Structure 1
Amino acid sequence: MHVSSRSWLAASLLALPCILPCVRAQSAATITVDSTTVDVNASSLAPAAAVVSNATSDSAAALFAPETIQLTEDVVANLSNINLVNASLFAFGADETSVEKRSSTGCKVFPGDAAWPSTLVWWIFDLLLGNSLIKTIPLAAPCYNDWPTVENAAECTYISNDWENSTLHAADPTSVMWPLYEGRTCMPTTDPTQNCTLGGYPSYAINVSNVAQIQLAVNFARNANLRLVIKNTGHDFNGKSAGAGALSIWTHNLKDITYIPEYSSSSYSGKAVKMAAGVQAYEVYEAARDYGVTVVGGEGRTVGVAGGFMAGGGHSPLSSLLGMAADQVLAIEVVTPDGRFVTATEESNSDLFWALRGGGGGMFGVMTSITVKAFPTFPVTTMQLSFATSSNVSSTVFWAGVRAYFDYLLDYTNAGTYAYFTSGATGANAYSFGLAPMFAPNLTKTELQTLVTPWLTRLAALGITVTPVITQYDNFYDAWWAVFPLESVGVTFIKTASRLWPKTNWASETSLNATFGAIQTTIEAGGSLLAFNVAAAENDGSENSINPAWRETTLHAILATVWSPIANDSVIVAASENLTNNWMQLWRNASPGAGAYMSEGDISEPNFQQAFYGTNYARLYAFKQKIDPTGLFYTPTGVGSENWYITGQLTGLPTQNGRLCPV
């Protein structure tokens, strides 16, 4: 909602819903909060936003309508007239000394603390936001009878049946797709007498519809010393949008997309697409197809493109051909830690532009939109196949077939292809392999068949029978939609880690044998492999902060460990530490100096600074201290996260359930 005038505000005071039971409007001039009656009228309460000019050059992308609704210095100055609350809570940042430290311990203020904002303050905050503040109710709360929502069997059944559907969690303001990191609290259950707690969920979320709301949230969290998190879809493997006691900025409903036929910057001239922060892969891919172009986004259907995905680098089915998602970005609209709304490009706020493109999501500001390169349409061919041990295929033969595939991974990425494949145990000394799919942009069916024939010939010689399904499409969207299904999420009994295997490991038979041997050993020990044969084509534009390890990669491999869904904490900790310290150490030993993909990595990754950021870390850390001196933006394994810790953590089972405190 856009608070556009004082007349609107005065007229609506009586009509406002009571978001907290203890608050009620009595007249257009007074409001009672708990036992306190206060004056509120058109002259004492300023509107919380102003519409700013949308002037832009002919080649640049105009601001989206929600981006023109901004918090300005004049509006903040006018807030000093409020006689309800300290207006400095919503003031822009200046420097570290200007921030009010409300916690004597230095920890972020937590519910129950004396410094936690009062009911009145939250009410005024919501009023300034245009009634977009949401008090968190866990997604599965209808399954319990200890919530004000009251147990609702029908709603609980719907949520339980759809729990592993990523769309369900993306559409909720605070739910995360990997509940391990919010403490496995308030999960779907058939026993409504159990307790449902917030765990690591934020206390409040803001359903963002304009930039002013983000600015108010950033200023309020910084000045009140609250923990702040950002959620678009909640896809991140490490639960970066969770945080106990936090205020969450939910950008999911910012859905604008526009096509720019002629965009020009110092390093690029051509077609472009601008998308808002809430746009998901399926939305921008469909729009791009309709515009007659192709854009680089994620493999997953519901992943948000213009948020943590891009900020973490963003590998894509088009990466081997065109580069990472962050390589495509031409401009970023962002609210910085001081609450100001800026545009970052090569020419303007260039350090911020560099950091946002690969330096990690939720670290340097809240992005509201990005403008990216758009490419012509081209054919895409896909191939799917699988094989497994059987009465005719021993485990030795099976592994020989997978090893044969590894011989061609470098050839495949050099041809611009991308592949998603899995392997794991199906029983005692029994294994399966699935290539679903190999994705070949700008290759015809005949060209892909020629490319894979040497491997298929070797499989046949081993006695492994496969039936490849090879299909050619005339555009990216149709191919992508056909072969990448909706993600399955929401489980609490899996933990993952990853490694970016460099091309140098394919330089000799010895190094390749060591690579394959480490992977085979961990699968035989009980791990499950989810891997991407992908390279990051060189960026032909401006420098960015993508982990340099990506430029040397030919295999992004994820290793998963699982445990019983009813396992206790000690079992989970043991499995987690085995993954991090034993299985993954075999991978590190076989790829010394390589890295890992931060968005799909291990939250317990040793020396995460080197693994996730490489040689960029020192520059990123220095910039982080400059732009965010109070540590407003924190995420697990994010830049500067080593300066903070979560209280009450179990080694090997990091959750976001505790208070965030400085080291």
Structure 2
Amino acid sequence: MKQTHLFWLPLLFSTSGITALQAPYSIPDFVSLSSKQWPSTSKWASLNTSLGGRLEVLRPWAAVCYLSDALYDYEKCQAVLTGYDNDTMASQTPFLNTRIFVPAALLWTNWEACGYGNGCPLNYSDPQIIHDQVCHQGTTPPYSVAINNANDASIVVKWAVENKVKLTVKNTGHDYLGRSAAPSTLQVNTHTMNDISYVPEFVPQGSSAAPVPALTFGAGAQLYNIYAYTGAMNISAVLGACTTVGAAGGYLQGGGHGVLTPAYGLGADHVLEVEIVTADGSIRTINAVQDPELFWAVRGGGAGSWGIITSVTIQTYPEIGIGASLLVIEPNLSQNLTTLSIDFIALLGKYQNKLVNSGIVSVLIPFEAQYILNFYLPTTTSHMSTLYPFFSELLTLSSNYTVASNTTSATMFASVTTAETEYIGPFFDSFNFYGASDQLSSRLVPQASLTTSASIQEVAEAIWAGGQILNEPLQSGPPGTFGAAPPFLLGNMPAATRQKVNETGANPGLYEAAWHVVFGASWTVGANETTSNMIMEAVHSATNPLTALGITSSYQNEGDAFEMNWQQVFFGYKYANLSSIKQQYDPGNCESATCKTTQTTY
């Protein structure tokens, strides 16, 4: 499938925040490297001087490993080869040369390319020097500047507007939609802005609200560092699972879910204040009383759509322990595995509403011959006894399913930090092929779809059918692929804050959901163009069976870049209001998309 139309929410900053605009609206007129209006060398030099010499030219990270490239360097290439697929160790080894620290690198290489054969990848499975191919610039911006504060961001924005240069914003490059890079742009790198501080009694600027404990962190702080800090301070915060994620970026701007979400709400529900530089270059401190419309939109309404965020303050809680039940279930191989898989999904679906409404996270990953099933519950709000009815029914089905592994404890992890850094983070990292290509699609299954036996069965059948579509091009094991790709059923939706659905810009589908169902596949060098296109088409089509049931909402941060009805899918009824706020704060519509996209104005 040759996808040539990524519809992003056009805005000033080319983190390509997936949102778009209602007509009438200004159509951006950006310069490109090939245009005569591209800024002169002296203009770039002036920007460099104003930022203390921090402007750098970017080439793809792996260019030093291509013999045909002018940058080829054997010694530098060895460093690239060492860190090429090592981002699961990057947080523990701060000086390791890995993707999250490299301005020119993203976590998934398809988003570094402008289509098949127009990037600069190495083979994820066996990275080595490339002898017979050309390294293309792809989506890698030609220039990058590391900013240290909001004043730096303001200087960059004003220069970019004056010179009609698009901006991309990057922290770690952990983005399943490729919003951290685009060609002919100036990259704003926030990764060094990683200060973290605890404020025991925080009151938002200009507010008369009662003080609450809070955590303030810079735009470059990633989850691993924040969890380490909160662990040391004996506090907890609502954050995500993959520790390579930068908290202030797409995570909170897309909504943000994690182990505490069913019991405490989305990450976006806990944002108290944001420092942001908007399209006019203004440095704004926004909260519920200062620029409240923008504050509403920033919390879940689309990553990169509103400005360059330089710091965020979120509410915290006292230390929270996490109980867990970690299971491996094996179906009876002598029976029909398709039937058993669908029935097991339906079995969990029977209890899912009760689980999420009780603050319990469920994670089901159903391979055909083995199901990974994890439950996590905050000890402050939830009880292991809530799981007993499910366990009891499962035991009655012993002729169909065997519990091959069971590690269960009501007090398994002393804190959220321990749970995330010792188990949950590494668990999800083990399914991420950092350094390969990757594409996702997803649907948010509402609680209303899991209320009757018939509706639960329909949902289970649709999920399994989606998995079959997903795996069609993978079944024969073509070169450059990694085997079967199961669906992920993530039961970590914000049941606790469902009544606050209109208090943030986040997709209302998140607040209504019982499950977040994700389909995804990875591939690498060795997969030919036909295989790559078939995988992309399969991922895109895997949600069709759920869509046919009227389940159409999706979580943008783990959604499909090629959604056609993306306004409704990612934003629901909030889209029109988000678009109006966009026009208020960015009337010039200075955002772009990646690669060969259709610039459409709404």
Q: What is the rounded CA distance, in whole Å, between the counterparts of 1:513 and 1:266 in structure 2?
A: 50
SS at match of 1:109: coil
Q: 1:186-223: per-residue Cα shift (whole Å, max 9, x none)?
A: 11243244211211111111111122221111111111
Checking the alignment, whether the CA contact within 8 Å between 1:208 and 1:251 is kept in structure 2 is yes
The answer to whether 1:121 aligns with 2:60 is no
- Correspondence for 1:198: 137
Matched position secondary structure for 2:312: strand
Of residues 448, 451, 473 in structure 2, which corresponds to 1:507?
451
Residue deviations 1:217-250 (CA, integer Å, cap 9, x gap) = 1111111111111111111101001100110111
In structure 1, what residue type is equivalent to 2:48? D
Change over 3 Å in CA distance of 1:149–1:620 after alignment to 2: same
TM-score by length of 2: 0.83
Would you say 1:619 and 2:553 are equivalent positions? no
In the alignment, which residue of structure 2 is the partner of 1:546?
Answer: 506
The residue that corresponds to 2:357 in the other structure is 414
Note the C-alpha offset of 1:578.
3.9
| 2:288 maps to which of 341, 346, 353 | 346
* 1:558 pairs with 2:538: no
1:73-96 residue CA offsets vs partner (Å, 9 max, x unmatched): xxxxxxxxxxxxxxxxxxxxxxxx
Equivalent residue for 1:476, pick from 399, 410, 416:
416
572, 590, 593: which one pairs with 2:549?
590
Look up the equivalent residue of 1:442 and give its one-letter code.
Answer: T
Structure 1 unmatched ranges of 5 or more: 1-100, 426-430, 636-655
Change (3 A) 1:106 1:240: closer
Structure 1 residue corresponding to 2:164, chosen from 225, 234, 239: 225
Look up the match of 2:153: 214
* Aligned CA distance change for structure 1 residues 177 and 543 (closer, same or farther; 3 Å): same
Q: Name the SS for the 1:528 alignment partner.
A: coil
Structure 1 counterpart of 2:375: 438
- 313, 323, 331: which one pairs with 1:381? 323
Deviation at 1:314, TM superposition (A): 0.6
Aligned equivalents of 1:290, 1:263: Cα separation in 2: 19
Tell me which residue corresponds to 1:44.
none
- Aligned to 1:453, what secondary structure does the other structure show? helix
Q: 2:274–2:286: 8 Å Cα contact kept in structure 1?
A: yes
More displaced 10-residue stretch of structure 1: 518-527 or 275-284? 518-527
Q: Report how far residue 117 of structure 1 moved.
A: 0.9
Tell me how far apart the structure 2 counterparts of residues 211 and 531 of structure 1 sit (CA, whole Å).
39
Alpha-carbon contact 1:515-1:591 (below 8 Å) kept: no
Bigger Cα Rg: 1
Change in CA separation of 1:557 and 1:398 when aligned onto 2, cut-off 3 Å: closer
The alpha carbon displacement at 1:147 in A equals: 4.0
Aligned to 2:125: none
Give the Å deviation of 1:524. 3.2
Listed as ranges, the matches of 1:301-380 within 5 Å are 301-380=243-322
Residue of structure 1 equivalent to 2:53: 131
- Distance in 1, Cα, partners of 2:334 & 2:56: 59
1:404 aligned to 2:347? yes
Question: What is the CA–CA distance in structure 2 between the aligned matches of 1:380 and 1:141, rounded to whole Å?
Answer: 44
Between 384-393 and 190-199, report the one with greater CA deviation.
384-393
Q: Give 1:448 shift.
A: 6.5
Equivalent AA in structure 1 for residue 529 of structure 2: D
Contact 2:177 2:557 in 1 (8 A): yes
In the alignment, is the contact (CA less than 8 A) between 1:598 and 1:612 conserved in 2? yes
CA contact (8 A) 1:421 1:531 kept: yes
* CA apart distance, 1:561: 4.2
* C-alpha distance in 1 between matches for 2:252 and 2:234: 22
SS in 2 for 1:123: helix
CA distance in 1, matches of 2:65, 2:81: 9
What corresponds to 2:395 in structure 1?
A: 457
CA–CA separation in structure 2 for the residues paired with 1:272 and 1:493: 37
Residue 66 of structure 1 aligns with which residue? Answer: none
Would the aligned equivalents of 1:110 and 1:116 in 2 still touch at CA under 8 Å? yes
Letter of the 2:493 counterpart? A
1:248 counterpart residue number: 187
Task: Quote the offset at 1:583 in angstroms.
Answer: 2.8
Distance 1:106 1:341 in 2: 22
The separation in 1 between residues aligned to 2:210 and 2:334, in whole angstroms, is 55
* Structure 1 residues 499-533: Cα deviation after superposition (integer angstroms, max 9, x where no partner): 00000011111111110010112223426312211
Contact 2:441 2:543 in 1 (8 A): yes
1:278 Cα deviation (Å)? 0.8
> Are 1:295 and 1:373, in contact at CA under 8 Å, matched by a contact in 2?
yes
Q: Which residue of 2 aligns with 1:8?
A: none
* Residues 159, 433 of structure 1: alpha-carbon distance in 2 compared, 3 angstrom cutoff: farther
Question: Against the structure 1 CA distance between its residues 442 and 622, is the aligned structure 2 distance closer, same or farther, given a 3 Å change threshold?
Answer: same
- Structure 1 residues 539 and 295: CA distance shift in structure 2, 3 A: farther
* 8 A contact 2:433–2:522 mirrored in 1: no
Tell me if structure 2 keeps the 8 A contact 1:110–1:659. Answer: no
Q: How many residues align?
A: 531
CA separation of 1:573/1:478 partners in 2, compared to 1, >3 Å: closer, same or farther?
A: same
State the identity %. Answer: 26
Asked if the contact 1:362/1:634 (under 8 Å) is kept, the reply is: no
Separation of aligned partners in 2, 1:279 and 1:198: 28
1:533 aligns with 2:491: yes
Q: Deviations over 1:395-449 (max 9, x none)?
A: 1444433432222211211221113332234xxxxx33212x3211126885466
Deviations 1:343-365 (A, max 9, x none): 00111111110110011111110
Supply the distance in 2 between the matched residues of 1:160 and 1:320 (Cα, whole angstroms).
40
Residue equivalent to 1:187: 121
Q: Deviations over 1:572-603 (max 9, x none)?
A: 334423433x43221111234x4100011000
For structure 2, list consecutive stretches of 5 or more residues without a partner in the other structure. 1-25, 91-97, 123-127, 472-484
1:662/1:538 CA distance change after superposition, 3 Å: closer
Structure 2 residue identity aligned to 1:585: N
Deviation string, structure 1 residues 37-86 (Cα, Å, up to 9, x no partner)? xxxxxxxxxxxxxxxxxxxxxxxxxxxxxxxxxxxxxxxxxxxxxxxxxx
Name 1:162's counterpart in structure 2: 83
1:277–1:385: structure 2 CA closer, same or farther, 3 Å change rule?
A: same
Partner SS state of residue 405, structure 2:
coil
Q: Please give the alpha-carbon distance, in whole angstroms, between the structure 1 residues aligned to 2:443 and 2:403.
A: 30
Could you tell me how far 1:634 is from its partner in structure 2? 3.6
> What one-letter code is carried by the residue in structure 2 that aligns with 1:375?
Y
Tell me if structure 1 keeps the 8 A contact 2:276–2:285.
Answer: yes
Q: State the distance in 2 between where 1:222 and 1:458 align.
A: 66
In 1, Cα distance between the equivalents of 2:42 and 2:132?
A: 33
**Partner residue, 2:12:** none
Displacement, 1:148? 4.4
CA distance in 2 between counterparts of 1:451 and 1:390 reads 22
Partner of residue 284, structure 1: 226
Secondary structure of the structure 1 residue equivalent to 2:458: helix
Q: Distance in 2 between matches of 1:453 and 1:106?
A: 56
Highest RCO, 1 vs 2 (Cα 8 Å, sep ≥ 6): 2
Output the aligned Cα RMSD. 2.5
TM-score normalized by structure 1? 0.75
